[in-house]
Structure 1
């Protein structure tokens, strides 16, 4: 009897440890990112609240354009509640040795030498066909779920949201961008 109870407890704790191990995902940049395939327009499906997006109400996009120096021009745009289009332009640079990691700067170019004007931009999950991406960073204070199309199927969104939670992002605070999830 004692032996069967101990065996049962061992099995239960083993299953629990395996489930806990499956639950957590590393918060790290993807191991491969083709910047030319990543280039183009992405539609925001959801994001964690950020001060600089406080006025955005709809149609939020990020457009990446390759530059000859290996960097990307970044053009973020959104519509406000007053139906005004806000646009912000910056630049992204690759991080050496981390293909899925970029650093983004929206400050003027003459301030580019200051480390504090560059923010980490990690592609933490990417569709093999570059149809959707999940972007975050080491602090987990920001998160974007992006799509090549303005909408995303509910099942796909829920799966990405779940995996972001397993990476430690506070997904209960995610703000969906209008009617982007079907």
Structure 2
């Protein structure tokens, strides 16, 4: 189904970029990132997420059809596989494999993630649906934002609700890129 797999240097650099976000000189889309709104049961957070929208960033330039898969490891950590389709929802597949571990005392809402050891970045689940059907993810610098869903095509009304929630959390909607997902049963 995926054909050949390419590990993208750009995606591998993702968390290196997040790890350096605190000292980065790029614009912040949220000057006052809030603490996560709810605890996160990591067992319920596991599985596949579809990226519906994001702040554009250098390691995802040209990415559509983005997914993130989380699975638990025997040591309690989490394996992360991010997949991007370059140029279009049916474009060539690029993947990046990483590792995450919960930050002690964060009720599972904050993770330290690496795709390129020894660089770790912050991954904060700022808010989520009660049934873990959506999540808004950011980090302390306010330069990165992802709106995730279990459904690749939740519909415009649902997307608008997620965008409104991101705005309530202080994010600039003018910086958001809507991500195209393959149609159901598509590539």
TM-score range, shorter chain: 0.7 to 0.9
Structure 1: gaps spanning 5 or more residues: 1-24, 112-116
Aligned pairs (5 A) from 1:33-48:
33-48=40-55
**Distance in 2 between residues matched to 1:160 and 1:59, nearest whole Å:** 18
Question: Which residue of 151, 154, 157 corresponds with 2:153?
Answer: 151
Aligned-pair Cα RMSD in Å: 1.8
CA contact (8 A) 1:140 1:168 kept: no
Q: Secondary structure at the match of 1:37?
A: helix
Aligned pairs (5 A) from 1:132-147:
132-147=134-149
Is 1:73 the counterpart of 2:75 in the alignment?
Answer: no
Query: Structure 2 vs 1, CA of residues 98 and 178 (structure 1 numbering), >3 Å: closer, same or farther?
Result: same
Question: Which residue of 25, 28, 31 corresponds with 2:38?
Answer: 31
Is 1:59 the counterpart of 2:65 in the alignment?
Answer: yes
State the Cα distance separating 1:179 from its structure 2 match.
5.8
Query: Structure 2 vs 1, CA of residues 26 and 79 (structure 1 numbering), >3 Å: closer, same or farther?
Result: closer
Is 1:98 the counterpart of 2:106 in the alignment?
Answer: yes
Structure 2: gaps spanning 5 or more residues: 1-31, 183-187
Point out which structure has higher relative CO (alpha carbons under 8 A, 6+ apart): 2
After the TM superposition, which parts of structure 1 deviate over 4 Å for at least 4 consecutive aligned residues? none
Query: Structure 2 vs 1, CA of residues 30 and 92 (structure 1 numbering), >3 Å: closer, same or farther?
Result: farther
CA contact (8 A) 1:44 1:59 kept: yes
State the Cα distance separating 1:147 from its structure 2 match.
0.7
CA contact (8 A) 1:31 1:98 kept: no
State the Cα distance separating 1:176 from its structure 2 match.
0.6
Aligned residues: 148
CA contact (8 A) 2:33 2:139 kept: no
**Distance in 1 between residues matched to 2:97 and 2:33, nearest whole Å:** 30
Q: Secondary structure at the match of 2:116?
A: coil
State the Cα distance separating 1:91 from its structure 2 match.
0.6
Task: Calculate the TM-score normalised by the size of structure 1.
Answer: 0.76
Is 1:161 the counterpart of 2:163 in the alignment?
Answer: yes
**Distance in 2 between residues matched to 1:32 and 1:176, nearest whole Å:** 27
Task: Calculate the TM-score normalised by the size of structure 2.
Answer: 0.74
**Distance in 1 between residues matched to 2:104 and 2:149, nearest whole Å:** 26
